[in-house]
Amino acid sequence: MQAPVQIKPTKLADYLEVLTKAAFQSGMSWQVVEAKWDGFRQAFAGFDPKAVAGFDGDDVERLSEDTRIIRNRAKIEATVHNAGVMLALDGEAGGFVGWLRGRGSFADTVAALRGEFRFVGDMGAYYFLYVVGERVPPHEEWMAAHPSVARTRRTAR
């Protein structure tokens, strides 16, 4: 597998999209998620955090039946929750990016992401931070320090 493409986020929707992809890839083949990603963008209003945070139970039900996406209700609900959290953090001094970069260390940032957002584990946090261009340890070094993640990734293929 080649490294995911890094982006230079220009808006909050960019961060929500990457965080959502990390959540939906958890326990899934990344190829399956990637194949449906255009459908995700459509279904989740281009990942506009205000729109997604405003989704209600009817929207969750509709998305749970939408064949354009992976119909995992818990992950759909997590995406709605995560959009609301991201908006709230963006409303604080320094905004979401200030919150993200204000943790002090990579480990503290991962812990903060896991504490605030749903369906974000160690690998998802690493993926998210890497893709949005934040500082992460070299992948080989990180994987060596997380052997359970390496085992899980081998069995999920």
The CATH number of whichever domain residue 49 belongs to comes to: 1.10.340.30
pLDDT in tens, the chain (157 residues): 578 999 999 999 999 999 999 999 998 888 999 999 999 999 999 999 999 999 999 999 999 999 999 999 999 999 999 999 999 999 999 999 999 999 989 999 999 999 999 999 999 999 999 999 999 998 778 778 877 765 444 444 4
Residue 50 counted as domain residue: yes
What is the domain count for the chain?
A: 1
pLDDT given at position 1: 57
Residue 57 CA to residue 88 CA, distance in Å, equals: 20
Q: Would you say residue 5 lies in a domain?
A: no
* The pLDDT of residue 138: 84
In a domain, 2, yes or no: no
What is the reported pLDDT for 144? 82
Q: Which domain holds residue 89?
A: 12-156
Q: What is the pLDDT of residue 2?
A: 72
Would residue 113 count as lying in a domain?
yes
Long-range contacts of 143-147 (CB under 8 A, 24+ apart): 146/122
Residue 1 included in any domain: no
Contacts of 10 (CB under 8 A, 6+ apart): none
Euclidean distance between the first and the last CA atom of the chain, given in angstroms as a whole number: 11
CA 52 to chain CA centroid, nearest Å: 14
